[in-house]
């Protein structure tokens, strides 16, 4: 049996054989804490604006491979996108199943082909199906998911599980019975985990998406980038994803220098710990210079008023605090963080949505009131009081829900330890935000 290091070496050689490369100063490093990562070799350094990875699109895996060259699904895909090596999935399947689901089934197909798959050098470096229970909360054992009870992440896990079950059941209706034995639901969940934790938006890889003549929108599915996806996430890393249309390659380019032995990061974007937990299976620790702890609050739609469902965040620290990097990126007006102290932990869109809703119920005219007026309390006192009361009630209910569902026993594995860390931080966010509301002046 080959070692993990040997598998990564084979992956590197496979990408090079296709015309890609890894920067000569960078190596694939593996340990039990960070798992696989990019590191600068002990004898080298990496300057800014260097290409860490150059990957030909012929190595990518997605929905595009399942339809490339299909006679009944005409597209203008570049020849660099490989078509299936064997038969296509049935046309009825390709025509009736959502693109993101088809992409997962294509990955399942290539996994089942094992050594016969062109992508096997990549697939065998991935977490295998038998080890997926430690990947994402959606595939955790029930006893581990129970450690999330009371948090918004627990609700999200149930919703995702329900969606995956429906997707799989619907897709299997369009496949022959013989597929039932190998294309199992657990394998579909594995493919979901791989795409969720490692994929990229196709619009970032195919800037000329309109010319592809796809039967769907370019971001109706996601795309796997072998080798490219080894880079771990840092929200502070300066990186760029660049596509060279002439050479049909995509590049991970760093925007900062790295010294010998340092980990070279990718940046997945401004994601809260709730989103990282559900989508990647980890959270970022709280520090003095950066925190990533936010509780998500949903507001319901009011179709009669033209409102839409929306999600807002409540921050551990005020949005104006230098460490609230992720939070500030979501403000309607990121350059204006001056507000009443009682609103300092709340996304401005949430406060504005509450103002609009309460004012509408009271038949108040809101046409001349700006976002700045609302956040700085330049609204009728009774409206301000109702907004504060509404926020306090919601947060108190959420905090009580978490506390009522605290696990009755200590964590017994890494999944449960992660869940406990997450729920502790959720409590801390709610405590701090409630404290700011309790200090609201008249």
pLDDT single digits (tens) 53-103: 999 999 999 999 999 999 999 999 988 999 998 889 999 999 999 999 999
Specify the CATH class of 283-438 in words. Answer: alpha beta
Q: Where in the chain is the domain with CATH 3.90.1410.10?
A: 4-264
**pTM reported for the whole predicted model:** 0.94
Q: Is 50 exceeded by the pLDDT of residue 24?
A: yes
Residues 160-195: tens digit of each pLDDT: 999 999 999 999 999 999 898 999 999 999 999 999
Question: Which segments of the chain belong to CATH 3.90.1420?
Answer: 283-438
Q: In percent, how much of the chain has pLDDT > 70?
A: 97
Query: Cβ of 139: how many Cβ atoms within 10 Å?
Result: 23
pLDDT over 60 (residue 123): yes
Amino acid 1: pLDDT: 67
For the residues 265-293, what does the mean pLDDT come to?
A: 95
Question: In CATH, what number does 4-264 get?
Answer: 3.90.1410.10
Q: Across the chain, what does the average pLDDT equal?
A: 92
């Amino acid at each position: 049996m080959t070692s993990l290091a040997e598998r990564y070496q084979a992956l590197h050689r496979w990408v090079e054989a296709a015309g890609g490369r890894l920067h000569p100063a960078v190596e694939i490093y593996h340990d039990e804490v960070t798992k696989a990562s990019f590191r600068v070799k002990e004898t080298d350094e990496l300057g800014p604006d260097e290409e860490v990875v150059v990957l030909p699109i012929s190595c990518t895996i997605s929905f595009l491979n399942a339809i490339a060259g299909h006679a009944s699904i005409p597209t203008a895909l570049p020849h660099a996108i490989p078509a299936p090596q064997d038969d296509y999935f049935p046309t009825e399947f390709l025509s009736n199943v959502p693109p993101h689901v088809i992409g997962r089934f294509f990955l399942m197909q290539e996994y089942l082909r094992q050594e016969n798959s062109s992508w096997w050098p990549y697939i065998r470096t991935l977490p295998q199906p038998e080890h997926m229970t430690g990947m994402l909360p959606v595939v955790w054992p029930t006893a581990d998911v129970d450690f999330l009870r009371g948090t918004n992440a627990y609700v999200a896990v149930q919703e995702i599980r329900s969606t995956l079950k429906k997707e799989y059941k619907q897709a299997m209706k369009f496949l022959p019975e013989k597929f039932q034995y190998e294309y199992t639901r657990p394998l579909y969940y594995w493919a979901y985990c791989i795409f969720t934790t490692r994929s990229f938006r196709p619009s970032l890889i195919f800037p000329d998406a309109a010319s592809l003549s796809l039967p769907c929108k370019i971001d109706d599915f996601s795309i796997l980038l072998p080798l490219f996806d080894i880079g771990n996430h840092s929200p502070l890393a300066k990186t760029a994803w660049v596509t060279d249309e002439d050479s049909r390659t995509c590049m991970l380019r760093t925007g900062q220098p790295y010294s010998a032995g340092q980990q070279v990061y990718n940046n997945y974007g401004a994601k809260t710990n709730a989103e990282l937990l559900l989508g990647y299976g980890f959270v970022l620790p709280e520090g003095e210079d950066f925190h990533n702890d936010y509780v998500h609050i949903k507001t319901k739609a009011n179709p009669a008023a033209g409102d839409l469902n929306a999600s807002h965040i409540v921050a551990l620290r005020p949005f104006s605090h230098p460490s609230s990097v992720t939070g500030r990126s979501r403000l309607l007006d990121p350059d204006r963080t001056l507000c009443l102290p009682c609103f300092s932990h709340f996304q401005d869109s949430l406060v504005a949505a509450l103002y609009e809703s309460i004012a509408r119920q009271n038949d108040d005219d809101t046409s001349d009131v700006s976002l700045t007026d609302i956040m700085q309390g330049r609204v009728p006192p009774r409206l301000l009081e109702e907004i504060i009361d509404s926020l306090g009630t919601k947060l108190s209910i959420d905090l009580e829900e978490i506390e009522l569902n605290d696990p009755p026993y200590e964590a017994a594995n890494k999944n449960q330890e992660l869940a406990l860390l997450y729920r502790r931080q959720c409590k801390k966010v709610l405590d701090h935000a409630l404290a700011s509301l309790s200090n609201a002046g008249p």
